[in-house]
Structures are given as structure tokens and as C-alpha cells.
Structure 1
Amino acid sequence: MAGVLARVASPSDLRALPEAELPRLCEELREAIITVCGRVGGHLGASLGAVELIVALHRVFHSPSDALLFDVGHQAYAHKLLTGRGERMHTLRQEGGIGPFLDPRESPHDALLAGHACTAVSAALGLLEGRRQLGHRGHVVAVVGDGALTGGLSFEGLNNAGGSHLPLVVVVNDNQMSISANVGAVPALLRTRNARAFFEALGFTYLGPVDGHDLSALVRALREARSASRPVVVHAMTQKGRGFPPAEADEQTRGHAMGPYEWRDGKLVRSRGGQRTFSEAFAAVLEEAMAKDPRVVAVTPAMLEGSALTGLKRRFPDRVHDVGIAEQHAVTFCAGLAAAGARPVCAIYSTFLQRAYDQIIHDVCLPGLPVVFAVDRAGLVGADGATHQGAYDVSFLRPIPGMRQWAPVVGEDLGAMLQAALDGGVPAVLRFPRGTLVPLPPELRAEPTSPTGARWLRRVPDARLTLVTLGPLGLAALEAAREEPSWSVLDARSAWPLDEAALLEAAAGGHVVVAEEGTVRGGLGSAVLELYAAAGVTPRVRLVGLPDRFIPHGDARTQRAELGLDAAGLRRAGQALLRGEVLR
């Protein structure tokens, strides 16, 4: 780094700068963000739009004595650069490097760990109240944006904060976007004169709207908020992707996650994979189902792009619903659709489905409504890290009565599984990973009919050991077994119901390895052990999966190898089990 930014190693350095140097600092911050994201990828658009806002926040408030909480944190790359992490920003989202979001373990200037939206107001109010009770001084600021005001948790926090009379400062970073354009009535209201009345009715002093790229105006408003003795909202209107023409021109997401990329001959060239993803393959079979059956509708909580549903939205504008960052609402909305006779498909990431657990149980499964959950990003997700790993969906969904759970090995499995889920008349889950599709291996045939029971990918007479897998790990198991003539491979295909006959056949060989890309505790392996205990059979069983700890950001392929979730790891697990080695 060079220039003004090179002289800023902490917020106190920023506060010491002459005011005349602040515009240049903002330019250099944008240049640094664009350069870093070009090299390693990242959440570009939101951070570009919040540069002046973050400079103004650190100009007025004294972090970490004053706590700054950013909703999610992908708007806060400038905050990272200004708080001593500039020299390591090239490691962003890489294993052992700077995290994808904010984390107090990474810096004392990060007051809140958050990778899911809508948490900042509630956490900030709790932090402020806790400090007050313990006699700690300092201000607390919650910066919400990128769709956080479409989520219910934000309103629960605002309701409580407005009635608390505590001097909480809420900064609304209003860029009218989540990943794509915000939806619903509240984002529209924010751009009208009624915004003031809305927040004042909740008990807040309202300051704004303020041009979120006018440093002087921002500093004035934030200083007024800092001196207040009651809850304050500072409403800053910003432009997502500001300062980077390709992001500004991107009407869908304003450069939400552009990169890696580079300039060649004056043009932006982005790195793109040539293979289709599981998300795209699922969207294709969902489109076929929607074309055949007018009852089928799609619902997603602000994940049109991530779930590859933009094409479906264009073709079926009245049957594809983006409900905003509102996972609980998405699930219960699907329950209402199903109760009316529709066949809703809720396209949602595994990590976000966690947020709607009560709605899954109470609103969908208890009445037995036919909602299909397309659980994307199941398993390891790589650079997005611990907050986004799809580690828990099998274990938290498996105990719910009446819910079927399928997982495809290859993209060709998706069509039959989706049709079976739609035809089943009960709650159902299709679990698939973040990643690209692989060619159909010779051992595996796509089945055009409804999937029933487990599927033998390799069936050896008198097998000594069977590898039991769920989802794409079946391919790694096939590779592991090719050099082992006495090993079979069973694709469980479903975490519930289990194919008891096939799993008991696997137990007959005396040795079973159950592998899954999800937490071992409570997952498929636990289900298999429960079955064997109930049946009174006692094969030697080894469980391979995600360990009892949170998995940080890094390269997902490297992490699979380290965790034994590749062909070599499964082979080692099987050989160790046959040798009678004790699992450590």
C-alpha cells in the first residue's frame, strides 16, 4: 500500500489525518478493495458502497472503546483495511488468512461475529445493555444494510431498542440491495418521506436521509448521533459497487461477489468455470417440473442468483418468489402455499435453513405439508467459512417425523429425486453441494424412475467391507474401492428413510465405513448405528465426516483431503478398520 492509506494502521491514525486527505483515503480504499477482490475474489459491491460511511464512522467513533457492529460484515472490507489488516488483505478468504466476514478473534475492532444477516441490532442492544450494567462506557453502533431490513430479526431488535430508551446508534446503509435488488414494502418505504415517521414511531430519533458518499454530511450526522441520549437512526443512502464501473453496470447484483478478475486490453476479464454446477442442474430440472405442473412454485430467501433461479424468474415471474432475507417467512410462506394446493420448492442454503428450524417443524412437518426443500451448499463451502458450512442439515432434519431426505451423487440423479419429492405428498429434502458436476462414471447409471432405497455402486460377493456414503462422496468411495477387490460401495441415497435391507447386507461383511460431508454427530452414521443396534447386529463401524468443531474458511478440496473425505482418506479409513486399529 502507498499514499494516505499506508499511514493508517489504526482508527486513531485516521482520526489524526487532516480532513482534506479523507477523499484521497476513500479513493485508495476503493483501489485496495478492487485489487484484493481481483486477486482472490470476495464480496466486492457492498464494501465499495460503504467506504465513505466506514471512514466517517471511524472518524467519529473510537473503536474498539466504541463498538461497531456490521450486519454480516461483507460491507466492511474498508473497516478491515483501516484496523491493521491491510498488509494481510491479500490472504482474504484463504486458509489461515483474513476471514470472509468479521470476527472478534481476528481483531478487537470486530465487535460481532456474523455471517448471517439481521443480527446487528439485537446484538448491539445486548452489548450496550451489558456494558451499562457492568459500568463500561462507550458507544455502540449497529450498521445494517444489504437487505437486513427485509428480515424479521432486525425488526425484533428495532422494536426492543426503540422501547429501551438506550442511546443505541443504528446506521441504515441503504443501497436498496441484498445480493440482488431488495424486495417488499420496507425498502420502498425507505426512499419516501415516510421513512422518518416509520423510525420515529418505533422510538428512534431519525437523522437523514444523508448522502452516504458525502463525508462531511456523514460526519455531521454521526456526531449528532454520538451525542444523543436516546436511540438514533442515521439513514445513509449509498450505491452498491460505487467506484468500479463493471459493478455499477451490473444491474442484477452490483458486483456482489465479482472475482477473481483482471484487466486485459482495457476490458474486465472474469475467471469462470466451464462446468455446470449442482445449483444450475437443479434449476434445470425444477424448470422442467414447473413447465409440466402449474402447481409447482419456487421460493427463495434472497438467493435468486446463488440458487441459479434468475432464468426461472424470467420464465415464470408469477411462480418464482424472492421473499428477501427472511428464511422463517420463506418456510412458512411455503407452508401456506402447500396448504392451498400448490407444490412449493424452497431453494435455500443449508446454513440459512438453520434459521427456520421451528418453522420447518411446526408449520411444515407437523401438519405434513408437501414442501420440498432444495438444500443448496450442503457440506463444505470453502472461502465463505465457518458461518456458511453446510454441516448440520442432515443431523437437525433427521429427527423430524415424516420428512424424507435425499442426496444425489451426480447431477443426473436430480430429476428423478425432485419428481419423487413433488409426487410424495410429504415434506422432503434434496441436499446437494456447492460445486461443479462431474461426468457420469461408468459404474453409475442415471435412473429415470423414482429413487427407491439405497443403490449399490459396487456390489462384491462376500465383501469384507462396505463403504456407505451419502451424496457425491459416493464417487470418492468408488475410487477408493477400485484397488480393493473385497470392498463394496453403497449409496445410501436417503438419510431417511433408511434402506434397512441394504444396510444389513452391508453389515454382514463385518466392516462398515459410513462417510458423509456433514457433522458425524447425529448424521447418517448415527442413523446406521441406531439401525444396527435395533437389529442386534454388531459389525465394526467407522464414521467419517466433519469433526466436532467449526470448520474455518479455506479451499474445500484441501479440507476434504485433510478430513479424510476424499478417496485416499476413505481408503485409509477402511484399511485401518480392517486392521482393527482404534479410532483416535
Structure 2
Amino acid sequence: MADVLSGVASPSDVRALPEDALPGLCEALREAIITTCGRVGGHLGASLGAVELIVALHRVFHTPQDALLFDVGHQAYAHKLLTGRRDRMHTLRQANGIAPFLDPRESPHDALAAGHACTAISAALGLLSGRRQLGHSGHVVAVVGDGSLTGGLSFEGLNNAGGSPLPLVVVLNDNQMSISANVGAIPALLRTRSARAFFESLGFTYLGPVDGHDLGALTRALREAKASSRPVVVHALTKKGRGFPPAEADEQTRGHAMGPYEWRDGKLVRSRGGRPTYSEAFAQVLGDALERDPRVVAVTPAMLEGSALTGLKARFPDRVHDVGIAEQHAVTFCAGLAAAGAKPVCVIYSTFLQRAYDQIVHDVCLPGLHVVFAVDRAGLVGADGATHQGAYDVSFLRPLPGLTQWAPMVGDDLAPMLATALQSGGPSVLRFPRGTLPDLPPELGHAEPEVLRSSPAASVGPSGLPKPAPSREPPGTPALATQDTSPVPGARWLKRVPGARLTLVTLGPLGLSALEAARSEPEWSVLDARRAWPLDEAALLEAAEGGHVVVAEEGTVRGGLGSAVLELYAASGLSPRVKLLGMPDVFLPHGDARVQRTQLGLDAAGLRRAGRALLEEESR
């Protein structure tokens, strides 16, 4: 079976195979996907379920003359294996290796980049329209998971395509799953006789339902679709995780992302970290908030598993809402909840929050509604790469009036920050990274009076913005009590040196790296900003007194915390030497997040180099 796959270097080789070789090819593809994900991890379940579908697509359509657009790339590993990338699949999701999703720069057989759901139908219709306008032939196929029909953009595309004379082919890969089971009315409708009437009422020819694991039936349906002169839907019923018993037995996600793993004594053993993640820690404090206050409600757009909310959904089935892959709806749904007097917490990845920007502005911030955004995966995300990097949330949220942006440094910051946000009465954000909770350095365990205390603050800062109230913490009280829900007033000095020559200002977990960087520098202070906006102006003005400030954040430097600090200094008539560190003005690719932090100078050594270089510039 592996020999069958070894002879396939391109889709033309798939078309050249005899019919009786195709089942062996499908089995070899599944074996290769399982082996690859076992070594390096990846999106296993959806790709296993789409094997026969992808083989049939490459038998009928001729890429790259015909264009295949996948929505998203979770289901496309077999496509990668059949389009000349088999020998490099062991580099999947690794630095300089095969992309986690689809990327035209990697292969001409990838028609369009795809990392977010619900985009394929709109993009495919545009691609087909553009080709026809420019006189190019070829078919365009959008391969859409049924989970994408929980999102509004798919319906915008269906509406436009159904009223178009162009022969767009939409292949609906219906496995009743996103990451977990789909929610809402449309997924339920697809498994009834009403599916035909639904698509035909939108203007499509409907072919199906077809057994998505029957190569003969799939091939016949796709050939009929290819011959159509009008828009057509091929409805294929598949099983996520097919061919891998542990995935098939996983009732929650059908092996959505199971690796790395290996077989030992006939059993599947997965690699797992022993430490809780920021997501798990936030879910714990959110659960405590749900217990304390019946007005608190959690909302997530199809990310129960990713944001560790499955346990809360089981405990609070009527107050934890999975609304499907529908970020815009999730935010405006929260606005409605807040208008009714509830306290909604919208748990959402940074990269997915981008998709609901208008709703944040128009539906939440403009009326000043009390919605808390728990922004997961803020900063570098590692193997998921450019489409999922949490680079922009601070910069695109900071201009919005009345929106407070919190960033916990360690897990014990989550409870007080969430409590502060829930008591605030207005919109707010908590951004936290992907990854496990860090160890606390020794100096945070037995703080001196000036360590771990919020800075004093005047009532109004130089820019005219209202200032937080002074800290009520008694001297020596650490601000890291696990279940502390007292209000968080402002920035926190991690190291405060009288007459410091330089201050490292950080946001989030980078404070720990800054503290390590300053350990050997007796004239350096370290300030954990804790808020990206509004700034703790008194603390930042104190940081400028030494004449040298390094601002480090795990987000874009364009418009982020560093930009806010520079704006404050300009408004105050101050001109300290300032160095900004963060994510550069490029779309960062996939790789090891720890290595990328080192490359970007966001580790302790990089912060120390930046501080020393800034001081040396003055002495030249």
C-alpha cells in the first residue's frame, strides 16, 4: 500500500492509477497521515475523514488548471500528500517546513491561503468570476466542511453564488463536526430530506447525499458537477477520524488534533504536558465566577475544547454557549446578553477576534456594554503559524473608547483581573497566551515592600485620561494570591530601584523574562504594565525618569503598548530614549514559539541585550 503512494508525485499520477488501486491508495494516505501526526502533531481527524473525497477530486479535476479551495486546511493533508509534498510531510507545522494549512507559495495546487473557516465559497466565486473575466478556463471547487455552515460568511457566499450564472462547484464535506459536534439548526437540517430543498431554494443544483467514503459514487457525482453549467452542490457524508480507532472512539472531537502520540504495548500513548495551561487556568477562575454570580455567562465560537470550556459546559449547560463558527454573532450575542443585564464573557482566540471587529466597535463599545473578552492565544502560537498568530489584538483594540485591556503575567493574575473586569460596568479585555503556566522566580515568592505592588496614581494623567485609584495593598502584600478577587488598580513594579538608569516595561508573561534580564543589572527596574489601555501614567512617567525605557510585548510593535507609551511621553513633553520590542511588521510563519521569542529578542537574553545597547548609545 505504501508502494502505491510512493509512485504518486502529482495529481496526474492519481488519474493514471487503475480503479482497483484506489482503495490501496486511500489506505496508504491514511497510514501516512496517522504516522505524520504521531511524530509532529497536527489536525488528524478531519484529514482522515476526507481521504476518499480528495482522491476523487483529483481523479475528476485537474489542478492547478482547476482550482480547489479548502475551507479550512484541517481536511487537506491527503491533498498535500498527493501534490508533491509527501517527502516533506515529516516537517509539517515546523519552522521552514510544510505549512499547517494551505499556502499557494508552497504549491501551485493550493489555490488560496486558508486558515480560517467560512471563506472558501466567497473566494471561489471571486476566483471563478475573475478567471472568466480574464478569459481563463478551468473549474473552481470550494470544499466546505459542514461546520463552516454555522458561520455567516458562508451564507453570504451561497447567496451570491446561487444567484450567479457561473458554474461554481461546492463540495459539502458533511461530518457533523467542527472541532467538536456542530451546533444549531443548519447541521441538523443537512441530515434530513430538507437539505435538497434548502440548496435548491438558493439556486444550486443539488447532488446527493453521497457516501463520502465510496469512491465510485463520489467520482460519478463530481463528474456530473463538473459537467454542470450552473452552480452545484455535491453533498458528501463522511466520518471524521475514519480509519483510526482512537479517533473514531473520541466522541468529543473525533481526533481533531491528537498528536504527538505513539503505540506502546498495543495502546495509544499521547504526549502531554504536566502543567496546566493559561486556558485551563482561566476556565477554572471563570467557573468560580459562574458559581459566585448567576449573571455571569460564557460564550465561545466553536472553541469549547481549545479554550478548555468543556467541563464548564457540563456544569453550566444553560450558561455556557457554543454558538458555532460565528465570531460576529458571538460578539453581538454577548451585546444582547449585556443589554439584558447579564455579564457575558466572550472566550475567543485573538486571531478569531479579528473577524468580529465591527461588532466590537458598533455593538459593544459604542453603547458601552458590559462585555468581557477573554482573548486566548494572544501572541505567538507556534505550529499553527501566520493565520493564527495573536499579533494584532492590542493594536486594533487600543483605539476603542472605554475598552480596558488587561494582560495577566502569571496564572494567579487571572482571578483578580477577571473579577475587576466583571465589576467594571463597561467593556474590557483579558489577553493571555497559548502555553503552560510558568514557574515563579524566587523574588516573587517573598516580595520586598516595593515589589509586586501597584504604582500610586494621580486622579488625572498628563493626557487627560482618568487614572485608576491608588493601590490599597499593604506593604509587602503580593498581588499573586490564587483566588484573590480584589480590584487590580494599575501597573505593578516587579523590581523598583531608586534612581534606576533603565526600566524594562512589559505586558503579560514577558515580565518574567524582564525580571530575569534585570537580575544582574543593579540599576535596572522592571514594570509589569498589566494594562495595555488605559495606561498607568504615573508608573510610566516614573519609568521615564531614568532616561531609558525598553518596552517589550508579544504583539505587533505598530500601535501596541510601546506606541501608547511613546504617545504618553510625547504628550507629557518627555523625551527618554525608548526601545520597542515585539513582533515585527511581517506575518510570522509557523515554528517553535520559544525559538521565535529568542529570535525576536523577547527572551531574557534579548531584553538584556536591548537594554545594554540602549545605554551604550548614550555613551557614544
**Aligned partner letter, 2:78:** A
Aligned runs of 1:366-515 on 2, under 5 Å?
366-444=366-444, 445=478, 446=480, 448=484, 449-515=486-552
**Aligned partner letter, 1:82:** L
Question: Could you tell me how far 1:331 is from its partner in structure 2?
Answer: 0.2
**TM-score in terms of structure 2 length:** 0.93
Aligned runs of 1:15-34 on 2, under 5 Å?
15-34=15-34
Q: Is the 8 A contact 2:296 2:344 kept in 1?
A: yes
Inter-partner Cα distance in structure 1 for 2:20 and 2:146: 30
Secondary structure of 2:415's partner? Answer: helix
Inter-partner Cα distance in structure 1 for 2:191 and 2:443: 58
Q: Is the 8 A contact 2:181 2:253 kept in 1?
A: yes
Identity %: 84
Partner of 1:351: 351
Question: Could you tell me how far 1:165 is from its partner in structure 2?
Answer: 1.7
Partner of 1:529: 566
Q: Is the 8 A contact 2:146 2:172 kept in 1?
A: no
Partner of 2:465: none
Q: Is the 8 A contact 1:4 1:21 kept in 2?
A: yes
Secondary structure of 1:248's partner? Answer: helix
Inter-partner Cα distance in structure 1 for 2:521 and 2:147: 52
Inter-partner Cα distance in structure 1 for 2:300 and 2:24: 40
Partner of 2:139: 139
Inter-partner Cα distance in structure 2 for 1:146 and 1:161: 17
Inter-partner Cα distance in structure 1 for 2:535 and 2:438: 26
Inter-partner Cα distance in structure 2 for 1:471 and 1:6: 47
Question: Could you tell me how far 1:442 is from its partner in structure 2?
Answer: 3.3
**Aligned partner letter, 1:86:** R
Secondary structure of 1:516's partner? Answer: strand
Inter-partner Cα distance in structure 2 for 1:457 and 1:265: 49
Partner of 1:538: 575
**TM-score in terms of structure 1 length:** 0.99
Alignment of 1:580 onto 2:609: no
Q: Is the 8 A contact 2:300 2:321 kept in 1?
A: yes
Question: Could you tell me how far 1:510 is from its partner in structure 2?
Answer: 0.3
Partner of 2:276: 276
Partner of 1:306: 306
Aligned runs of 1:7-18 on 2, under 5 Å?
7-18=7-18
Partner of 1:52: 52
Alignment of 1:63 onto 2:63: yes
Inter-partner Cα distance in structure 2 for 1:526 and 1:114: 31
Question: Could you tell me how far 1:174 is from its partner in structure 2?
Answer: 0.1
Alignment of 1:94 onto 2:94: yes
Inter-partner Cα distance in structure 2 for 1:330 and 1:407: 22
Question: Could you tell me how far 1:441 is from its partner in structure 2?
Answer: 2.8
Inter-partner Cα distance in structure 1 for 2:307 and 2:490: 27
Q: Note the alpha carbon deviations across 1:453-493, whole angstroms, 9 max, x for none.
A: 11000000100000000000000000000010000000000
Secondary structure of 2:423's partner? Answer: helix
Question: Could you tell me how far 1:439 is from its partner in structure 2?
Answer: 2.7
Question: Could you tell me how far 1:581 is from its partner in structure 2?
Answer: 7.5
**Aligned partner letter, 1:63:** T
Inter-partner Cα distance in structure 1 for 2:101 and 2:285: 33
**Aligned partner letter, 1:417:** M
Partner of 1:170: 170
Partner of 1:234: 234
Partner of 2:602: 565
Q: Note the alpha carbon deviations across 1:220-244, whole angstroms, 9 max, x for none.
A: 0000000000000000000000000
Q: Note the alpha carbon deviations across 1:283-326, whole angstroms, 9 max, x for none.
A: 00000000000000000000000000000000000000000000
Inter-partner Cα distance in structure 2 for 1:457 and 1:451: 15
Inter-partner Cα distance in structure 2 for 1:215 and 1:452: 62
Partner of 2:584: 547
Secondary structure of 1:383's partner? Answer: helix
Q: Note the alpha carbon deviations across 1:256-278, whole angstroms, 9 max, x for none.
A: 00000000000000000000000
Secondary structure of 1:164's partner? Answer: coil
Q: Is the 8 A contact 1:146 1:179 kept in 2?
A: no
**Aligned partner letter, 1:480:** A
The number of residue pairs the alignment matches comes to 582
**Aligned partner letter, 1:460:** V
Inter-partner Cα distance in structure 2 for 1:452 and 1:86: 54
**Aligned partner letter, 1:56:** A
Aligned CA RMSD, in angstroms, stands at 0.9
**Aligned partner letter, 1:137:** S
Inter-partner Cα distance in structure 2 for 1:377 and 1:442: 27
